[in-house]
Copies of this chain bind each other. A is one copy, B any other.
Amino acid sequence: MPTTTVRAAVRGAETESVAAAGTAAGAVAVGERPVRGRTATRFAASALARESRVPGPAPDDWIAERGRAGALHVERIPLADLTGWSFAPGTGDLRHDSGRFFSVEGLSVRRETGPVKSWSQPVLVQSDIGVLGLLVKEFDGVLHFLMQAKMEPGNATRTQLCPTVQATRSNYSGVHGGSPVPYLEYFLRPGRGRVLVDVLQSEMGSWFHRKRNRNMVVEAPDEVPVGDDFRWMTLGEVLGQLHRDDIVNMDVRTVVACLPLPQLLSPRPSAPEPAGPPRHDSAALAHWFTGMKVRYPMVTRRFPLARVAGWKRGPDEIAHEEDRYFRILGVRVEATQREVRAWSQPLLAPVHGGVIAFLLRRFGGVLHVLVQARVEAGLLDGVELAPTVQCTPANLAGTGLPRPPFLDAVLGAPPAAILYDTLLSDEGGRIHHSLARHLLVELGEEEDGEGTEYWEPEGFRWISVEQLAGFTRHGYQVNVQARSLLSALYSLCAAGEAGEPS
């Protein structure tokens, strides 16, 4: 199992990065969206602040301490023993008796192109829109983020660093009979609070049918009481935790990816040459992306879980007949930290771990990533921008399907090229033990294959990180795996490990 290996290919002293953030005044173009002065500058300054101005234990110690204080006991149980859940007569869909939370249903998919033309699968259906909210506030002139230490039933090993709020309507509208969700009012009724980010984003498109989360950042206007499991951190401290395996949860990563952080990516003002334009202008990228959506039309239809072919339902789980992809299993949970003390629920458990990676490369000194326009059955518009590699190699074994492009390039990259290599997990409220290896692999300009097909196959494009950030600030353009890697990339920039041209 790989451990965190952030290579110290330092590309500029921290002090220079601070200066860059402080002096970049006025509008900064992020992809297609001008990120105006002050808000962007404040986020950049927080990203470069390595220590909280609010006294307290160091983040590592605090997270470990909260983990000891708040135990969560999770036990596998047969599906039939899930309290409040049952298989609907006729359809076989697995539902909560209230009709809320989520359900497990069937999805049929037909495509005209691609290696597999049609299939059916179980899918998690959740029409509830979740709130993933970060509350921020200035201390000593630096923005701090109110972070939560929280354990979720699907977590592999431990308490994670979570947003101020992660809640669905079923959580906060009283369906689960629990106590109120702390700080939720700042996001539902900001009042005098200032909303800095509010955008709907997708979740894992292979497992969820059109799930959407509301990614929010709200600045609190007044004094905020800080609960036991909460702590003010600078963005730099949050990003620092991204260098550790399985600590920063998915919900933090996606919201961080929605922040206006282009200044972290700016070349030094003292650089001899101004940074060049991105490899493709926005009209060309729009044409390619739209073309990919049109080229791979997909017809999806929800249908009864009982009729999904190739999957079997046993007493303990719903699983693929060849035990690929994922299982649906049941857990009983007892908690000390939560609004509800005990409950049971289904979880989706991937069978194997995935590999999620961006290839990085500079063109004319400007950092680019190789994005893939990826079809996923559960995405609202069918296609979003995804990492260069997003796959589960073990699921391919024995299927005769082709090995995804660039997988071997990523797995075989020389150590010096690997800027980031960390295990991160998907959201533990629905997904069980889903650690995936997240990598950022930088190619040198000398490996330039410009003009050759190899470097930019049809479904792939080199786009600047600023363009990726611009797409991310609009909903449903960049998938959650790519958003995770963007947050990891910001963590490298904040640490001075990728933000500057070498």
Contacts and interface: CB of A to CB of B under 8 A. Distances in A.
Nearest to A286: B198
A286 B199 contact: yes
A214 B283 contact: no
Contacts of A32: 32-34
A189 B55 CA distance: 61
Given A32-B34, A34-B32, A381-B380, A200 B301 contact: no
A297 B129 CA distance: 8
B129 A214 contact: no
A29 interface: yes
Interface majority SS on A: helix, strand, loop or mixed? mixed
How many copies make up the complex?
Answer: 2
A416 interface: no
A299 B125 CA distance: 11
Interface stretch (A86-94, A221-229, A288-296): A288-296
Nearest to A474: B474
Interface residues of A, number: 36
Given A32-B34, A283-B195, A474-B474, A200 B299 contact: no
A198 B290 contact: yes
A128 interface: yes
Contacts of A286: 195, 197-199
Interface string A285-325: 01100110110010101100000000000000000000000
Contacts of A27: 29, 34
A190 B380 contact: no
A127 interface: yes
Interface string A469-488: 00000111000000000000
A476 B27 CA distance: 26
A284 interface: yes
Contact of A287 (B190, B301, B475): B190
A41 to B, nearest CB: 15
A196 interface: yes
A127 B109 CA distance: 13
Nearest to A112: B169
Given A127-B297, A297-B129, A474-B474, A291 B198 contact: yes
Contacts of A294: 129, 200, 214
Given A128-B297, A297-B127, A290 B29 contact: no
Nearest to A218: B287
Contacts of A34: 27, 29, 32-34
A93 to B, nearest CB: 13
Contacts of A283: 39, 194-198
A199 B290 contact: yes
Contacts of A381: 200, 380, 475-476
A198 B295 CA distance: 14
Contact of A290 (B127, B214, B291): B214
A110 to B, nearest CB: 9
A130 to B, nearest CB: 10
B287 A195 contact: yes
A190 B283 CA distance: 13
Contacts of A380: 380-381
A198 B283 CA distance: 7
Interface in A78-109: none
Contacts of A194: 283
A500 to B, nearest CB: 25
Nearest to A476: B381
Interface in A350-398: 380-381
A127 B283 CA distance: 25
Contacts of A195: 283-284, 286-287
Interface string A162-198: 0000000100000000000000000000100011111
B287 A198 contact: yes
A498 B287 CA distance: 32
Most buried by B among A197, A287, A476: A287
Given A34-B32, A214-B290, A380-B380, A127 B299 contact: yes
Nearest to A284: B195
Interface of A: 27, 29, 32-34, 39, 127-129, 169, 190, 194-200, 214, 283-284, 286-287, 290-291, 293-294, 297, 299, 301-302, 380-381, 474-476
19 contacts: A27-B34, A32-B32, A33-B33, A33-B34, A34-B34, A127-B297, A169-B297, A194-B283, A195-B283, A195-B284, A195-B287, A198-B286, A198-B291, A199-B286, A214-B294, A301-B302, A380-B381, A381-B475, A474-B474
Given A169-B297, A198-B287, A381-B476, 9 more contacts: A33-B34, A39-B283, A128-B297, A195-B284, A196-B283, A197-B283, A198-B283, A200-B381, A381-B475
